[in-house]
Amino acid sequence: MGSSRPKPSIPHIPSRNFAGSNHTEVAKLPHHSDTFSVVICGESGSGKSSLVNLIAGAHTAVTSDGAGGCTTTTNVYDVLILNETLKVKLSDTVGLGEGPRGTVPDKDARRILKRLLRTLTEQGDIHLVMYCVQGGKEIRSLRQNYQLIRSQVERKVPIVLVVTCLESYQPEMEDWWRDNERTVSKLGMTFAGHACITTTTTMTKYMDVQRRTHSYDAVCELINQCRPSNDTGIHTGSSLDTVHPSASGNKYPNVGIFGQAGAGKFFKAITGSLTNPFVKRRSPLS
């Protein structure tokens, strides 16, 4: 009684830099023949890089403290999730919505993202798009970037919505979706699933620890439920334009990326550790 709980933190895993390359290997990945490719998109500051770190369970991607972006090129990370049974390739893209003097001006960022999505779609090397948005953003402002992404992947690739910065949303993070689902639908934005999460590593209350664990599980469940269901690598599940029930709908103990500048599972079987040593960063399209 009266004693404060220790603040959880994500351990730093030393990386190895190779001369003449932007490849940073955090740990040697065991061999996995199948790789699930996820592209995380969104405005600068929406929490894309923090989402990578949440999934990886390590400070792998550089993050920004402010509204401006810190990602200047597409960075690719290989991680293992679902008790190290699924290899996932995470592509952290440049942030959209910056001004002419931003880290990457919006015009350039949109061109880079369109080319990336188009190329990966043509190569069949994209299985899921995560549209990362900050929970405090005005909903109508999300439509333009959604339309850009949809126009490049059409109906060939499912798009899911990941809403970040909800560590203080009450009474539960999932209430963001209940409060905004109708507006999202009226604006013509349809998703194959959604997760309402927090990626913060600064925690002062036990509930924050639960929320972060819940967030990890919810994002992993989104990936799991969007995996191709046959040997061809083609998504054959429900309609890609259907808004499915949340991957984060249950209470925290039972639960098992595109966005704008400044935006910061319920199956126990897929609960993973917040520390994942199996993370490797490499160049995009490799």
- Reported CATH class of domain 31-282: alpha beta
pLDDT in tens, 230-267: 444 445 444 455 444 456 443 322 222 444 444 442 22
132 by DSSP, 3-state: which?
strand
Q: What are phi and psi of 259, to 5 degrees?
A: -155, 180
Question: What's the pLDDT at 195?
Answer: 98
Taking the C-alpha atoms of residue 284 and residue 7, their distance in angstroms, rounded to an integer, is 35
Task: Tell which wins on pLDDT, 281 or 148.
Answer: 148
Tell me: pLDDT of 19 over 70.
Answer: no
Average pLDDT of 63-82? Answer: 78
pLDDT score of 116 more than 50: yes
Looking at the predicted structure, is the pLDDT value of residue 26 above 70? Answer: no
List C-alpha distances in Å: 175 to 79, 134, 170: 30, 14, 7
Its pTM stands at 0.74
Name the nearest CA neighbour of 135 among 166, 104, 95, 177: 166
Structure-model confidence comparison of residues 221 and 278, the more confident one = 221
C-alpha separations of 263 from 28, 54, 139 in Å: 32, 15, 12
Whose tokens are 């990945």? That residue is: 29
Choose between 285 and 138: higher pLDDT: 138
* Domain regions of the chain by residue span: 31-282
Which strand (E) or helix (H) includes residue 92? Answer: strand 86-92
* Listed residue (46, 56, 50, 45) closest to 89, CA to CA: 56
Q: What is the pLDDT of residue 72?
A: 81
